[in-house]
């Protein structure tokens, strides 16, 4: 398989075939993210992707899932993305689900008919980065669009039966907006109604603008107890029927809860950790 630069995928796509449909991220302006800063965004041609599909058919003939990299495969022109999905169907007949990172702006650029077309061809799940439901926080970290925009585009995807795995970041509002960020994020998640939520803890990556702000005292990351309070707030106020994951390696307390069924148990686990009865994940075990 031919990859340009480093390849990133969600933890849940560990067993998926990774096809690089686009290079980099179409936005690439989030002040906390360093994943694609060394790449200039472009969409690969269907012929380029087809060559990798042919190779994957030999190397991974029994794999049932495909993940389209890089940061925003949905930004491909519709005709090209359709051609890629059709080639996956032809060359990888065992594949039952295709998924991709999709930012809200790229969802907005697709018509409802185009989204239905992609769903019919097997694109069944979007990994969408909400990050925060607080508009002040979103603007401060360079995220395009406000919370309502993300909610509306997520609901459009769900309306055509494309599932959502929505990512949020504990600590993104800093100390100053910690509570506001947590409550607003819970409200946005409740309005969007995703099947899956992934809560990660913000990691300040050297070289990013947000890390630069931190070094100069303009951004203060909440300490671990406050991050746990944010997690508790989101768990308590997120009203969805889906799975809430906070078991990423960046988190201090691994949590997996099917809401609303497991809410009380998850809240009790966070409370026990806040009381010191359950240890935090040590720093050396945390990472991206």
The stretch 196-210 carries a mean pLDDT of 96
Band (133; pLDDT cuts 50, 70, 90):
very high
Return the SS3 of 268: helix
Per-domain residue ranges of the chain: 1-101, 134-278
Domains 1-101 and 134-278 share a fold: yes
| Phi and psi angles of residue 7, each rounded to the nearest 5 degrees, phi first | -110, 135
Contact 227, 171 (CB under 8 A): yes
Return the SS3 of 90: helix
Band (37; pLDDT cuts 50, 70, 90):
confident
Closest CA to 281 of 258, 257, 248, 236: 248
The model's pLDDT over 18-30, given as tens digits with 9 standing for 90+, comes to 999 999 998 889 9
| Phi and psi angles of residue 152, each rounded to the nearest 5 degrees, phi first | -60, -40
H-helix or E-strand containing 237?
A: helix 224-237
Cα–Cα–Cα angle for 101, 46, 88, rounded to 5 degrees: 70
- Whose tokens are 């096809």? That residue is 19
Q: Is the pLDDT of residue 287 over 90?
A: no
Look up the CATH number of domain 134-278.
3.30.750
Cα–Cα–Cα angle for 14, 209, 252, rounded to 5 degrees: 45
Which CATH architecture does the domain made up of 1-101 adopt?
2-Layer Sandwich (3.30)
The pair of three-digit structure tokens given for residue 107, joined into one six-digit string: 């969802």
């Amino acid at each position: 398989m031919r990859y340009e630069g480093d390849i990133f995928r969600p933890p849940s796509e560990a067993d998926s075939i990774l096809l690089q449909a686009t290079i980099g991220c179409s936005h690439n302006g989030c002040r906390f993210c360093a994943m694609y800063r060394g790449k200039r965004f472009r969409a690969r041609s269907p012929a380029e992707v087809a060559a990798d599909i042919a190779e994957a058919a030999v190397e991974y003939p029994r794999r049932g899932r495909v993940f389209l990299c890089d940061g925003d495969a949905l930004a491909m022109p519709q005709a090209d993305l359709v051609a890629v999905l059709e080639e996956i169907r032809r060359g990888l007949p065992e594949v039952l689900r295709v998924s991709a990172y999709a930012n809200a702006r790229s969802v907005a650029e697709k018509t409802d008919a185009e989204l239905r077309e992609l769903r019919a061809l097997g694109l069944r799940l979007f990994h969408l980065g909400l990050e925060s439901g607080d508009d002040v926080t979103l603007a401060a970290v360079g995220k395009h669009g406000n919370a309502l925009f993300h909610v509306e585009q997520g609901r459009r995807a769900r309306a055509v039966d494309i599932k959502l795995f929505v990512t949020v970041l504990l600590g993104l509002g800093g100390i100053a907006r910690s509570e506001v960020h947590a409550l607003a994020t819970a409200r946005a998640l409740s309005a969007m109604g995703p099947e899956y939520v992934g809560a990660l803890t913000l990691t300040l990556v050297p070289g990013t603008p947000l890390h630069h702000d931190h070094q100069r005292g303009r951004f203060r990351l909440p300490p671990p107890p406050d991050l746990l309070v944010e997690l508790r707030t989101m768990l308590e106020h997120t009203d969805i029927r889906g799975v809430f994951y906070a078991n990423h390696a960046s988190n201090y307390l691994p949590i997996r809860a099917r809401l609303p069924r497991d809410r009380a148990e998850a809240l009790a686990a966070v409370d026990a950790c806040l009381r010191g009865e359950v240890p935090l994940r040590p720093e050396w075990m945390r990472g991206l």
